[in-house]
Amino acid sequence: MNDLPSEAPEPVVARRERDRRIREEDFLAAAERLFGERGFQDASMEEIAREAGYATGTIYRYFESKQALFGELLHRRLAEYFGVVEAAVDGEAAPREKLRALIRAKVRFFVMNQAFLRLYIGATDAMAGMPGACPGPQSEVRQKFLGLQRKVLEEAAAAGLFSPERQGWVGAAIIGLTNNVLLAALTDASWVEEQELVDFFIRTMENGLWKAS
């Protein structure tokens, strides 16, 4: 009845809510690892639950189905990714700098979220649905992300950085290039100097792969 200001208002409910979020993240982390390693089909719900440290049924108190778990995972990581990239791009005014910032943010994000890289590639390849891609809540975030990227490219094109025809190819080129090199670099050696990768991408985009002569 009396709520001393120093006390927690509803400690039980608050704790439960917090625990719930923690467990959700436990499951998402386990799912990220196993989906990344084995793919969607070959990772079983039982494995994921056990990897997270719970019994099989528990996972269904947090996610309606395997699809929903996968979707939520993509949604969260993509939203995080989108936020990071958007912030980086917004910090720059010039189109060229925006593009560079986008690359820098991408490299930094995936160096810190290596487990997510495979899932991201599977879900984004060629900006198109690979078989197995499932519709769901992540679609919205994905659309937002693709929209952001398109905008950056359009601005760059409008600024005369590259020719506006075949803009789709330019987008696909940047994504394919960065995805695949990141995957190779992070698979070979789990530690890579971020700056080096960023420089490689920027240089390639600006001058091509040929050695500057």
Partner DNA sequence: CATGAATGAGAGTTCATTCAT
Partner DNA sequence: AATGAATGAACTCTCATTCAT
Q: What are the backbone dihedrals phi and psi of residue 160, each rounded to the nearest 5 degrees, phi first?
A: 85, 15
Minimum CB separation of residue 23 from DNA in Å reads 5
Q: Which of 13, 14, 94, 126 binds a copy of itself (CB under 8 A)?
A: 126
The site string for DNA over 33-72 (x = CB under 7 A, - otherwise) reads --------xxxxxx-------xxxxx-xxx-xxxx-----
Buried b (16+ CB within 10 A) or exposed e, 79-101: bebbebbeebbeebeebeebbbb
* Residue 57 binding result from a copy of itself, DNA, none, given CB thresholds of 5 to 8 Å by partner type: DNA
Q: Amino acid identity, residue 103?
A: I
Q: Which of 37, 46, 64, 140 binds a copy of itself (CB under 8 A)?
A: 37
Q: Please tell me what DSSP assigns to residue 211.
A: P
> Is residue 90 a contact residue for a copy of itself (CB under 8 A)?
no
> Is residue 122 a contact residue for a copy of itself (CB under 8 A)?
yes
Neighbours of 6 (CB within 10 A): 5
> Is residue 39 a contact residue for a copy of itself (CB under 8 A)?
yes
CA distances to 6, 31, 67, 156, 175 from 149, in Å: 47, 27, 27, 11, 10
Q: How many residues sit close enough to a copy of itself to count as binding (CB under 8 A)? A: 51
* DSSP class per residue in 44-67: -HHHHHHHHTS-GGGGGGT-SSHH
The SS3 of residue 22 is helix
Minimum CB separation of residue 205 from a copy of itself in Å reads 5
What does the binding site for a copy of itself look like in residue numbers (CB under 8 A)? 36-39, 41-42, 118, 121-122, 125-128, 130-132, 160-163, 166, 168-181, 183-185, 187-188, 196, 200, 203-211
What does the binding site for DNA look like in residue numbers (CB under 7 A)? 16, 19-20, 23, 41-46, 54-58, 60-62, 64-67
